[in-house]
Amino acid sequence: MLSNTAAVIVTYNRLEMLKHCIGKLRAQTLPVNDIIVVNNGSTDGTKEWLATQTQLIVFNQPNSGSAGGFYTGIKAAAEAYNYKWLWLMDDDGYPAEDCLENLIAATVKKPEVDVWGCIVLDNDNPDSLAFDCAAITTSNNKIHLSIEYVDNWAPFFNGILLAVNTVKKVGYPDPRLFIWGDEMEYFQRINNIGAIIKSTTKAVFYHPKDRLYDKVFKGEYVYDGPTNWKAYCFFRNRAYLGRKYHNSTRTKVLLKQFDYLYRKLSLIDFIKAVGLITRAHIDGLRYNLNKKLPY
């Protein structure tokens, strides 16, 4: 069985994680055809290390975030090479050694599927999921794997297998989104063209637990990260997605977010956070995605 697959990794200043991820790719029980690395202007020796490696396809570019990195990697792989599948991941995740073998086996069993996802486990606590999935979670938050396939769910850019034919239909990730929301926008676009999306619990991928947006406040998930330019991206992109794909301004959710931050921050920090988040939200609703980011 051949994979006819290129792995695409986006990296920025996480050299040791990148080395670990590439090592896991090279150790797959079903070999990947090529490994494409998009280096987003790393300053930690990543570029120099990549120059010493063989059997890698490397693109070095200025930092353009997850969105710009996957834009470059997916575009290059889809246009310049003859792959059937693209295996997409950030540098802080890594696959189990039989992950690709199980993904390709799923494509053989169900050739109609356009996107295959993995079960993504918390690499610090492999008994729990890195990204929530209600279909394979019990009432006491334990994982149950009696379900082999999960319909219309896949943790994008975390070990997903994406058909090149689907890329040719939908295009590439939107580089203007930079980070935190670009993967959801790409999922939505792919879903909107009627692509079939599934995950298989037989394919295992590891990633740090998503702790940015796992705080529940008054029955709603709220943002619990830094109130800086990254938060700007998060709230701008969320407003953009809500308006474009769901005809929603998400105002009630935003007010609950302010309530949460008021209880958490000092008054001065709260005022600054409200100003930043409000600007981001308005920019998203106006489809203004061209703000220069101070990263």
pLDDT in tens, 155-201: 999 999 999 999 999 999 999 999 999 999 999 999 999 999 999 99
Q: Are residues 169 and 234 in the same domain?
A: no
Quick one: pLDDT at residue 255? Answer: 92
Quick one: pLDDT at residue 292? Answer: 83
Quick one: pLDDT at residue 205? Answer: 97
Q: Are residues 85 and 169 in the same domain?
A: yes
Count the domains in the chain.
2
Alpha helices in 31-173 (DSSP H): 46-51, 65-80, 99-109, 164-170
Quick one: pLDDT at residue 219? Answer: 82
- 75-116 pLDDT per residue, tens: 999 998 889 999 999 999 999 999 999 999 999 999 999 999
Q: Which of 174, 207, 240 is the last residue of a domain?
A: 207
Least confident of 73-87, 96-110, 201-215, 280-294: 201-215
Q: Are residues 197 and 226 in the same domain?
A: no
CA distance 259 to 217: 9
Burial of 178 (0-12, 13-18, 19+ CB in 10 A): buried
Higher pLDDT, 137 or 141: 137
Q: Which of 105, 73, 68, 99 is nearest to 86 (CA)?
A: 73
Q: Are residues 21 and 37 in the same domain?
A: yes
Over 90: is that where the pLDDT of 134 sits? Answer: no
Asked if residue 295 belongs to a domain, the reply is no
Quick one: pLDDT at residue 218? Answer: 86
Over 60: is that where the pLDDT of 69 sits? Answer: yes
In Å, how far are 32, 107, 190, 250 from 104, measured between CA atoms?
11, 5, 20, 39
Q: Are residues 105 and 166 in the same domain?
A: yes
Q: Are residues 190 and 280 in the same domain?
A: no
Q: State percent of the chain over pLDDT 70.
A: 97
Domain that holds residue 229: 215-285
In Å, how far are 131, 205, 277 from 13, measured between CA atoms?
23, 21, 27
Quick one: pLDDT at residue 295? Answer: 61
Element spanning 273, H or E: helix 267-285
In Å, how far are 45, 167, 170, 172, 211 from 191, measured between CA atoms?
38, 12, 10, 14, 26
Quick one: pLDDT at residue 138? Answer: 74
Element spanning 158, H or E: strand 158-163
CA distance 90 to 63: 14
pLDDT band at 213 (very low <50, low <70, confident <90, very high): low
Q: Which of 207, 233, 255 is the last residue of a domain?
A: 207
Tokens of 72: 């470059």
Q: Are residues 203 and 224 in the same domain?
A: no
Asked if residue 294 belongs to a domain, the reply is no
Over 70: is that where the pLDDT of 241 sits? Answer: yes
Query: Residues 62, 68, 70, CA angle at the centre, nearest 5°?
Result: 120
Residue keyed to tokens 């600007």: 279
Asked if residue 78 belongs to a domain, the reply is yes
Q: Are residues 56 and 171 in the same domain?
A: yes
What is the chain's mean pLDDT, rounded? 93
34-40 and 57-61: which strand pairing? parallel
- By the 8 A CB rule, do 285 and 243 touch? yes
